[in-house]
Structure 1
Amino acid sequence: MQFPKGFLAAAIAAGIKPSGKTDLSCVVSDTDCVWAFAGTRSTTAAACVTRNREVYAAGGPVRALVVNAGNANAATGKRGANDNADIADALGSVLNVDQDAVLTASTGIIGHLLPMDKVLSGVEHLPEDLSPQADAFAAAIMTTDLVPKTASVTLSTGATIVGTAKGSGMIHPDMATMFAFAFTDAAVDQAALRAAFPAIVNRTFNAVTVDGDTSTNDMALVLANGQAGAVDSAEFLTALEGVMRDLARQIAADGEGATKLLTVRVAGAATEAEALAAARTCCVSPLLKSALHGNDPNWGRVIMAVGRSGAGVNIEKMTVAVQGTPVFAGRPLPYDAAAVSASMKADEVIFDVNLGVGEAVGEAWGCDLSAEYVSINAEYTT
């Protein structure tokens, strides 16, 4: 997959990851980009989130993003903040742009200082390998991910949007998520983009969960360099949301230890916020996730999760269906449990829920809970 016009990327193995895999990467635009950003609301946010938030508030254009994987540079004090700024300054110097035009992102183990000699040496050499190909960048930002995550769309004008993301564990975003980066050559208004971005993030990345844990480094970005010319605003925002929805689903499907994607579609809610809350609470429920892993159509766990989500419900009008089979409609319905269980042996299992109180809808994505999830995280640093 190629990046949109004017964007180039590079990825190298700088020695941050013990595995020797690529762990330092960048995406560079040859012209200024307008942009939108969302960063975690965690009160222990990493240095990259804090700095990007400050740059975002200043409102200036950006030219590049540099990402390191294998080290979160979180809970590392003033040294970590200075190291993060030095990375931006180093790439800015190589590209001959101001350091405030360079965004940073770090992912990996919390509480470890970056090996700055390796990082800065790598940053110096990154621009030597710039290419329009997106695949190497998508792979370089991974940590426990099993597969790279990319999505793209072409607008009616020929402008394109290309998205990349990483995330597999510690996934329960509280603003954005993991890493999600979108790049476009469409010419868009920065104020309009920033106004629309939070709602798009809320319906996509804030609607995905793997394990209920919000990261210190979560962020979502969209950079637009305008090189393909003007586009219809409504078409662009719809397409951008589609790319981000695709990435969110890929993240859920690649959850640590996951064997299947969980989709919960909620209708009949009083508000979109309540619909999303109900859907996301179902997706994060350890009981429902365990039932999903065992192909157990225990719809009572949906009733339980919705009930604690805070969403308004009319239990007498509420309905639940599993893989298209109605199992509850204000009361238990007769159904073939063996047949429904068999239908759950699929790559994606869908629960449809109607809360019976309004017209709003929402959708969230998660995955099953397997013994492999425990194994991965029991041995993450050892």
Structure 2
Amino acid sequence: MTALPQGFRAAALAAGIKPSGKIDLTAVVSDSPCAWAFAGTRSAAAAACVGRARQLYAAGLPLRAVLVNAGNANAATGAGGAADDAEMGALLAQAVGTPPESVLTASTGVIGHRLPMAKVRSGVPKLAEHLQSAADLHAQAIMTTDTRPKTAERTLPGGQRLVGVAKGSGMIHPDMATMFSFVYSDAAVDQAALRAAFPGIVARTFNAVTVDGDTSTNDMTAALCNAQAGAADTAEFLQALEEVMRDLARQIARDGEGAGTLLTVRVTGAASEADALLAARTCAASPLLKSAVHGRDPNWGRVIMALGRSGARLNLDNLRVDVQGVPVFHAEPLTYDPGQVSAAMNAEEVVFDIDLAVGQAKGEAWGCDLSAEYVRINADYTT
């Protein structure tokens, strides 16, 4: 059982939003106000919860709670959907005695349906009656097509803790954040420093994940710090935060819809970190390369193809590609045993190492293999 940091309590229940009857409504409440950082999807079709979160973030006020529903995205639902989202936040605020603007709301699930507000009105007040220190049900309740809950934690030298939860399995090609991730910490951290560092951490973690190339309307990530365990060294805290978010990002990639293999692409020798991440993510997103990984086919030509269209600078005359540690290309095709490499690819994680040979920057991205099961899951998603 994963315990939340000091001063955070969570609850979850089945409100009837998911047709399956599984838990689908959850909240985390802090005993004290939280400094926080946030990133939300850049999709032009962003859901109501993302728009509201942006308004709260711009206001700069502290948070006290996070409220999430799963099974209904409340996206493309117009002004009525925005009103439903605001009411959802107000319901929890009233139940725990905090202003509505201190409650962050998030929704995930099917796009294009209004929230079943009668069920939300019945369920939200009950959450306040069952708050406890464990994070496990919170992680389970935010799941949609995930096959497993995703949590990660770190402890700082001063004893302050960070606990993160995430959900995501499909419609994953974040353009700022992840499907959902929330990191809770009892450390006291300067909010300005946290917010300044957050975009870079997001770029190196959740924005380096891809499952299917589709960016969700509801992507959101936030880090909340309630200061209950005292001040933390800023550099130590930010390093731990990045480690937690990286751990969660890899879990999301590993749990991609229909996936059996984690695909890791490590790029060095890039002109900039942005170029390294661009090259790595383009490779990880390539349907052709993902299919090759599924078939244990060391077809490194698909890496060259993806790099060439990525937009990242490269020097083909000195470019290097390794598959599972085996050099296969260095300016020209190398001699290797395809059967040996194919056998090495029969693993839970397949790693491509790439040297673009134009600079000193590096970056890493994560994806998964592409299987027939992915098509089945999404062919049957609403029917």
- C-alpha offsets along residues 98-150 of structure 1, whole Å, 9 cap, x if unaligned? 00000000000000111100011100111111110000000000000000000
The separation in 1 between residues aligned to 2:121 and 2:210, in whole angstroms, is 34
Q: Which residue of 2 aligns with 1:179?
A: 180
- C-alpha offsets along residues 136-184 of structure 1, whole Å, 9 cap, x if unaligned? 0000000000000000000000000000000000000001110010000
The separation in 2 between residues aligned to 1:114 and 1:227, in whole angstroms, is 35
For the residue of structure 2 that corresponds to 1:230, the secondary structure is: coil
Q: Which residue of 1 aligns with 2:331?
A: 330
For the residue of structure 2 that corresponds to 1:108, the secondary structure is: strand
Q: Does 1:365 align with 2:366?
A: yes
Q: Which residue of 1 aligns with 2:193?
A: 192
Q: How does 1:232-243 map to 2 (within 5 A)?
A: 232-243=233-244
For the residue of structure 2 that corresponds to 1:216, the secondary structure is: coil
Q: Which residue of 2 aligns with 1:64?
A: 65
- C-alpha offsets along residues 174-207 of structure 1, whole Å, 9 cap, x if unaligned? 0111001000000000011000000000000000
Q: Which residue of 2 aligns with 1:24?
A: 25
Q: Which residue of 1 aligns with 2:85?
A: 84
Q: Does 1:320 align with 2:321?
A: yes
The separation in 2 between residues aligned to 1:296 and 1:61, in whole angstroms, is 51
TM-score, with structure 1 as normaliser: 1.00
Q: Does 1:140 align with 2:141?
A: yes
The separation in 1 between residues aligned to 2:115 and 2:346, in whole angstroms, is 43
Q: Does 1:297 align with 2:313?
A: no
The percent identity for this pair of structures is 69
Counterpart residue identity of residue 51, structure 2: T
Q: Give 1:252 deviation, angstroms.
A: 0.1
For the residue of structure 2 that corresponds to 1:227, the secondary structure is: coil
Q: Give 1:339 deviation, angstroms.
A: 0.6
Counterpart residue identity of residue 264, structure 2: T
For the residue of structure 2 that corresponds to 1:292, the secondary structure is: helix
Q: Which residue of 2 aligns with 1:113?
A: 114
Q: Does 1:344 align with 2:314?
A: no
Q: Give 1:220 deviation, angstroms.
A: 0.5
Q: Does 1:9 align with 2:5?
A: no
- C-alpha offsets along residues 241-285 of structure 1, whole Å, 9 cap, x if unaligned? 000000000000000000000000000000000000000000000
For the residue of structure 1 that corresponds to 2:176, the secondary structure is: coil
Q: How does 1:191-340 map to 2 (within 5 A)?
A: 191-340=192-341
Q: Does 1:377 align with 2:353?
A: no
The separation in 2 between residues aligned to 1:286 and 1:215, in whole angstroms, is 18
For the residue of structure 2 that corresponds to 1:187, the secondary structure is: coil
The separation in 2 between residues aligned to 1:324 and 1:361, in whole angstroms, is 17
Q: Which residue of 2 aligns with 1:123?
A: 124
Counterpart residue identity of residue 190, structure 2: D
For the residue of structure 1 that corresponds to 2:263, the secondary structure is: strand
The separation in 2 between residues aligned to 1:188 and 1:120, in whole angstroms, is 34
- C-alpha offsets along residues 210-233 of structure 1, whole Å, 9 cap, x if unaligned? 000000000010000001001111
The separation in 2 between residues aligned to 1:23 and 1:180, in whole angstroms, is 16
The separation in 2 between residues aligned to 1:165 and 1:65, in whole angstroms, is 13
- C-alpha offsets along residues 303-348 of structure 1, whole Å, 9 cap, x if unaligned? 0001111000100110000000000000000000001000000000
The separation in 2 between residues aligned to 1:239 and 1:318, in whole angstroms, is 33
Gap runs ≥5 in structure 2: none
Runs of 4+ with deviation above 2 angstroms: none
The separation in 2 between residues aligned to 1:321 and 1:209, in whole angstroms, is 21
Q: Which residue of 2 aligns with 1:55?
A: 56
Q: Does 1:46 align with 2:64?
A: no
Superposed CA RMSD: 0.4
The separation in 2 between residues aligned to 1:186 and 1:124, in whole angstroms, is 28
For the residue of structure 2 that corresponds to 1:311, the secondary structure is: coil
Q: How does 1:88-107 map to 2 (within 5 A)?
A: 88-107=89-108
The separation in 2 between residues aligned to 1:101 and 1:367, in whole angstroms, is 37
The separation in 1 between residues aligned to 2:193 and 2:233, in whole angstroms, is 12
The separation in 2 between residues aligned to 1:172 and 1:120, in whole angstroms, is 33
Q: Give 1:96 deviation, angstroms.
A: 1.0
Counterpart residue identity of residue 73, structure 2: A
The number of residues matched between the two structures is 382
For the residue of structure 1 that corresponds to 2:87, the secondary structure is: helix
